[in-house]
Amino acid sequence: MNLRFAAVHYQAIRDRIKLSDPDIDERTLADTIEGLTDLHDIVIAVIRSALDDEALAAGLKGRMGELQERLARLQDRASKRRQIARDVMSELGLKKITAPDLTVSVRPGSPAVIVLNEKAVPSIYWTPVQPKLNKAQLALDLKGGANVAGATLSNPESVLSIKVR
């Protein structure tokens, strides 16, 4: 809300100064308006906030990566412990162990599919893949001047550049 108000205030002052002095150069105009408004300070505060959010996002992304690795380790450890329990029970011929909070049983499993030669498997067992638009190549061709039916380039948007010292 403050940013919108500051932008309107900035534009009003700019228009007034240009009306009273049509020959004023852009640098002097910009310096004068900067001294009369707090728009620059508000924009800088918004950018600092964006930089903080980006830093938090980067940290969170790194943390998520660490947690994904931990999740994989925990899942692997749980799987190995289940295998140990299953192997011991199978070796000793124990079909069932009951505890107050759980019951463990070993039963024969179902056979799993083993593919010996993928090329020999009939096509009815294959799932067709939906075609996916290659936007990178499409953009490259359009930028190169190609006329592609059903596609065009958008009007370019301005890009905000931030340099942190």
Q: Where do the structural domains in the chain lie, given as residue ranges? A: 38-114
Q: What 3-state DSSP class applies to 97?
A: strand
Amino acid identity for residue 118 in this structure: E
User: The tokens of 76 are what?
Assistant: 């692997």
How far is it, in rounded angstroms, from Cα 28 to Cα 26?
A: 6
The more confidently predicted of residues 3 and 85 is: 85
Residue 39 CB: number of other CB atoms within 10 A?
20
Per-residue confidence band for 1, with pLDDT thresholds at 50, 70 and 90: low
Terminal CA-CA length for the chain = 29
The overall average pLDDT reported for the chain is 90
- Are 10 and 37 contacting, i.e. CB atoms less than 8 angstroms apart? yes
Convert the pLDDT of each residue in 29-68 to its tens digit. Answer: 888 888 887 888 888 888 898 999 999 999 999 999 999 9
Q: What is the CA radius of gyration of the chain?
A: 33
113-140 confidence digits (pLDDT tens): 999 999 999 998 999 889 999 999 999 9
CA–CA–CA angle 143, 144, 145 (5° rounding): 90
Q: How many angstroms separate the most distant Cα atoms in the chain? A: 99
Alpha carbons 96 and 106: distance in angstroms, whole number: 6
Residue 10's CB is within 10 A of a number of other CB atoms, namely 19
Q: Which residue has the tokens 């942190």?
A: 164
Which two structure tokens, joined as six digits, stand for 62?
Answer: 């790194």
| Rounded CA separation 78/67 (Å) | 16
- C-alpha 129: how far from its chain's center? 24
